[in-house]
Amino acid sequence: MTGPELLGNLGQLLGAKIKARTEFRGETTFSIDASDLREVARLCRDDFSFDYLIDITSIDNFGEDPRFAIVYELYSLTLAVHLRLKLTVAEEIGAVDTVSDIWPSANWHEREIYDMMGIRFNNHPDLRRILMWDGYPYFPLRKEFPVEGLPSDMPDVAFSASAPLEGGPFVTRPSTATAKDREPRARRPEVRE
């Protein structure tokens, strides 16, 4: 079976597990229930050759219910075909089962999602923060987290105060100038020749 044939038949093969199918720019997305994730993931890996987990991402749909979405990017190295699995997680539940035992590369992706969004992964072997320090009380990629950040009670950590919003070395201005001339350091007098 070829990759396009597999994608064409996959919806029928997975049956009622697929809640919706979306085709966009030659990419296939299946929406599934969070409760079916492990079963669908195992089938995709074992029966349908999706042996490579490219990425896992999370989306904060602040103000909607369910609030969060998790997207799994799968690839079959043997068939050269891409598949996306998407599921939603309600804020009050805030957890989904891990797939780190199915695809070991999921370990770090799940830890990052937990650290940045606060979504927990049930039965994860080492679910702890990966970017922020232990005890950090916020989840920085949630939409209610302010862009300027929040003050920290850890004095030895860099950037413990809120960041200023009046601009900085990485803020550019829209213009028709070249990239070199739009570069913020080019506007500082001490840098100019």
Sign of the dihedral through C-alpha 153, 155, 157, 158: positive
Q: Name the pLDDT band for 6 (thresholds 50, 70, 90).
A: confident
pTM: 0.78
Asked whether 171 and 184 are in contact (CB, 8 A), the reply is yes
Strand 95-97 with 81-89, pairing: unpaired
Q: Which helix (H) or strand (E) holds 71?
A: strand 68-76
CATH architecture for segment(s) 3-161: 2-Layer Sandwich (3.30)
Q: What is the pLDDT of residues 150-191, one digit of tens each?
A: 776 665 655 555 555 555 555 555 667 776 665 555 455 554
The residues spanned by each domain of the chain are 3-161
Other CB atoms within 10 A of residue 106 CB: 21
CA-CA distance, 52 to 103, in Å (whole number)? Answer: 7
Nearest CA-CA partner of 42 in 88, 100, 107: 100
Confidence at residue 147, expressed as pLDDT on a 0 to 100 scale? 77
